[in-house]
Amino acid sequence: MGSVRWAFRCGSWTPSRSDWLFAARCVQPEEKERIGQFVFAKDAKSAMAGRLLLRRFVCEKMGIPWSEIRLERSPRGKPYLAAPLKVSSDSGPAWSFNLSHQGDYAVLAAEQGMQVGVDIMKTTMPGSSSVPEFFRIMTRQFTAYEWSVIQSAGSEHQQLAAFCRHWALKESFIKAIGTGLGFDLQRVEFHLPTEPLTPPRALRQTKMHLDEEEEEDWIFEESLLDVDHHVAVALGPADKLGSAPPPSSLPPPSTFTLLSFSELVASASPLTEEDSAYWESFKMKAEAPSRQSDAHTST
């Protein structure tokens, strides 16, 4: 069964005029318009990278020509392949894919025959409050056991790193099952292995308890893209009645492959005409001295 783990470093990406306009031509018109509405260049770059990652995956791994790919969003904002409706059955079990971007990276995880969710978190100091105050605000998001692990991690930065690691795990599960904000995050509790995370190696030893019972059907892969960016990938049964294969039967967890821009668009073909005004709008945002946002986005 196939497995894909791709990352693109959008934080350090400084697209040229030709690169940005080519990228804009290679996404669907409504996505181009949505990306153009972002106030900050950082967010526009992350969103553009995310759409290109998705289209590259569908084109290269599912064998669908770039011009025939039609991606749409569920009511909860999750992207899905709307067309073509029929994909060749010769390619094996159905693919599940998911996307996340936050901090300096956009990441995509995809798996054949399993449900997948991915989340990335950058360890950064909370902007408007102290770490203890930030933790107080977030109290209801974690169980007492998880808070004991987070708050015993060491320095404030180490505690924030532990917080981000737990948060990425919870979000990856929520995204895999397709549940929105109504899910009570205290229903899931993560038990981390004693082995530390070290880039670029991926670990698959974390266990999840759901409603105080250990879940045997869910597998979690964790990795660090660099010292500040945690990534969690949740892998579960493709349907509610099924069960995921035991971790021992799976190949070793895949590390994320960092793609260059040329690799990102290697299979791309333009869908629309060039729009020079789109570059001028982006250039103004990129040159603006105002503070760049760092939204945590998963679609």
Helix (H) / strand (E) containing 219? strand 219-226
Chain segment 277-289, per-residue pLDDT in tens: 999 999 999 988 6
pLDDT at 200: 81
Model confidence at 88, pLDDT cuts 50, 70, 90, reads low
Across residues 21-42, what is the average pLDDT? 97
Across residues 3-28, what is the average pLDDT? 97
Does pTM surpass 0.75?
yes
- H helix intervals, 37-190: 41-62, 131-137, 144-151, 156-177
| Cβ–Cβ under 8 Å, residues 218 and 115 | no
pLDDT at 89 over 60: no
Looking at per-residue pLDDT, the higher value among 179 and 214 belongs to 214
For the stretch 261-265, contacts whose Cβ atoms lie closer than 8 Å and that sit 24 or more positions apart, written own/partner, are 261/8, 261/13, 261/15, 261/19, 264/8, 264/49, 264/52, 264/53, 264/56, 265/22, 265/23, 265/26, 265/52, 265/56
Spell out the domains of the chain, with CATH numbers in brackets.
1-114+253-289 (3.90.470.20), 115-236 (3.90.470.20)
pLDDT at 78: 79
pLDDT at 170 over 70: yes
Model confidence at 175, pLDDT cuts 50, 70, 90, reads very high
Looking at per-residue pLDDT, the higher value among 12 and 245 belongs to 12
pLDDT at 230 over 70: yes
Across residues 214-229, what is the average pLDDT? 95
pLDDT at 246: 64
Model confidence at 82, pLDDT cuts 50, 70, 90, reads very high
Determine if residue 296 is left, alpha or beta; phi over 0 gives left, psi from -120 to 50 gives alpha, anything else beta. Answer: beta
Across residues 2-6, what is the average pLDDT? 96
Least confident of 93-102, 171-180, 247-256: 247-256
